[in-house]
Chains A and B, each alone.
Chain A
């Protein structure tokens, strides 16, 4: 197991290195510069040149890459080029927790609701309920979240005035954005759970367990769910990474000061240092979460042998 983890960590580091290099040069290929604007007065021209010099953008690209990597090795992600005076670390440490709070709420919500719906649908003989879950999961994967977010804002915010639509101040503020980011995962999880639960329920050992006279809920939870959840665990790793890196659309619409909207903004602004910082941070999250999810799967499922 340790050997496996060590190998994965090594591959993860290589992936990060590749990610950093590729992002650095790709972002510089996009036309435009952080300081360029439509103003051409003498003062603006002078300011542009001074800023390029101050932030070292006038040096050759390879030299800039060297400087950046050297800083990175010392844990220095630099200062934002656009947000004057703010360091990239500051920006990440103020925005990431916000996205994490929403992301974890959404993660727990999706898991509970998704698994619950999946089991209910799998065990129930009711056609209506089954159809409802299938309909919900079809809607969930096909409706884009900006549409759902706007719909929720209009119905529950503007017309019914039940939930606030700006920011994440109180628990009530979490309701609409959580639903907006969770619909897709809920649909995926309920589908996965339903399918694998139905599969598991047909297995011989389930029949055996039932015929031994074990209580129904023990059969379902202990023997059924544990085996049925394996595909869900595999899905959970990428899902949590996805939720923790934030959604630009949902964060923008609900004015949530999170990392997802920051990332898109940094690209539009050509805020090179911030793009790099966020890429590294998010890349790290994705790699770690994937690794964790694999390890947890192995832990749960005795059939997976990591060392081989």
Chain B
């Protein structure tokens, strides 16, 4: 019996040893509750009429909640609820004034003067001033290489590039042309005209921050609930890899319109798990769900089909270094013409969630006349029409036929949808004497090979950081490519010329011409599909705001 007791005690001490290291909790503690409202006598006293909570899923853990380093939609899906920026895109992609009441632009298109709306208050009761916006923007510019979106500011604002390069402190940025003229006036001067500049100020890097809380060049302060924010919600607690809990900010300028009292972002990485959590009612909104939801929930009011700006296209290695045939514009055009995009949609089973794309710029970008850039262009002429006969004759003219077929390899990131797309292309191109070999790779390996030019044709997909056709068209300018698969001085000149136009109509006209040159005349890239964002939301709750840059806002939810 003695031996047995020893075994038991050994086992117990082992257990104790292990559990004792398992006790550490990672929570950032919430500050003593309601410390803020009692501090100020003028606090707006909101009789908590009804408690409403809303839970949404994030497909990965957000980074530190520091606007300067935010680089993915899961982090911005939290930040967007905490801060109240100058501008925001609405669901149609139009720029909407939030904290900015009005603004003026100088005649040369360089100097913007923003007038801030009254009543904008931090969650600790202090008024939000123009200097807070100035600090937030300058801090992003000087943060360092970990700030992925600082380029939106520093590449436009006069003096910004140098400040970014040298990782300057805000105090030293006197030459960066962002200045708070008084508490409610902000002036920004650009290095060159940028017709879509106010839209860029909707990005997280332009959020206001309090200089006494937001430490420069680092982010660990950001998950502390004591840091004041000025959005509809304020931070309650961050539980690493688990959830972010936010509560209504009573000091928010439009707090009366916010019905939600507790907002929780739960981290659920697996799409199937998001679906299950939605079905069990553990979450009210899932935006990363399996694709078959479109079919299974087709007639259900819970199904969301949200407009986002995103395209799927083919990278073409036009240098001919890996496949000489691809240096021939006619071969590339034939490849584009041989694709029946309607059939492609049906084949991959995405008729309700994607649409055929006949130009490189997807739907959701405003044209000069207020209409949609893509729809306007398509109404005149689709740049990538399906025309099998002409595709065949182009290939025959280039010397290909049944006996002399062209071998091509398509590289893609391994996924079900990508595989389906490539298999479909393989079948369609067989008709025009092309034999396709498929080459799937894991994401990072694919990116490295493609960036080194080790590919012939590759599938790609781009969603927009800001809503202007220039965002898409600029990518094919030679200096915007590490490996110059498209290197055409004519195209570079067309884009530069377009962007030099101050008149919006002339600028858009030139962008249309450039896109036609890119896609129809040269097939430097082959557009395939545009997509929308699928989701499931509790049908008893309405008022979700969703903008085409893939951001959701919960201030307008009603129950």
Which A residues are closer than 8 A to B by beta carbons? 30-33, 36-38, 40-43, 45, 47, 50-51, 53-54, 83-86, 93-97, 100-101, 104, 150, 153-154, 157-158, 161, 164-167, 222, 226, 233, 244, 252-255, 257, 261-262, 268-270, 292, 296, 299-300, 302
Contacts and interface: CB of A to CB of B under 8 A. Distances in A.
Given A104-B22, A166-B282, A257-B267, 12 more contacts: A38-B447, A38-B450, A42-B480, A47-B145, A83-B63, A84-B146, A97-B25, A158-B276, A165-B273, A257-B240, A296-B7, A302-B3
Interface string B128-148: 000000000000000011101
A42 B64 CA distance: 26
B218 A165 contact: no
Contact of B219 (A30, A85, A93): A85
Contacts of A33: 444, 448
B447 A37 contact: yes
A84 B64 contact: yes
Contact of A40 (B242, B266, B481): B481
A255 B451 contact: no
Interface string B265-309: 011111011001101101100000000000000000000000000
Contacts of A269: 444
B449 interface: yes
Interface stretch (B11-19, B194-202, B349-357, B395-403): B11-19
A292 B14 contact: yes
B41 interface: no
Contact of B445 (A32, A38, A45, A167): A32
Contacts of B243: 167
A300 B475 CA distance: 69
Interface residues of B, number: 68
Nearest to A262: B241
B6 A85 contact: no
Chain B binding surface, main DSSP class: mixed
A93 B461 CA distance: 37
A228 to B, nearest CB: 12
Nearest to A252: B270
Given A104-B18, A165-B282, A261-B269, A32 B242 contact: no
Nearest to B480: A41
Given A54-B144, A100-B22, A85 B63 contact: yes
Contacts of B145: 47, 50-51, 53-54
B162 interface: no
B218 A85 contact: yes
Contacts of B239: 257
Nearest to A258: B241
Nearest to A254: B273
A214 B10 CA distance: 28
A289 to B, nearest CB: 9
A165 B277 CA distance: 7
A95 B480 contact: no
B26 interface: yes
Interface in B215-242: 218-220, 239-242
B276 A47 contact: no
30 contacts: A32-B442, A32-B447, A38-B460, A38-B461, A40-B475, A41-B475, A42-B479, A43-B155, A47-B148, A51-B146, A53-B145, A85-B64, A85-B218, A86-B64, A94-B24, A96-B21, A97-B25, A100-B22, A101-B22, A153-B273, A165-B282, A166-B277, A255-B270, A257-B239, A257-B242, A292-B14, A299-B3, A299-B7, A300-B3, A302-B3
Interface string B11-46: 100110011011111100000000000000000000
Interface in B239-260: 239-243
Contacts of B461: 38
Nearest to B275: A158
A253 to B, nearest CB: 5
B279 A158 contact: yes
B17 to A, nearest CB: 9
A41 B3 CA distance: 70
B468 to A, nearest CB: 14
Given A97-B21, A161-B280, A257-B242, A31 B270 contact: no
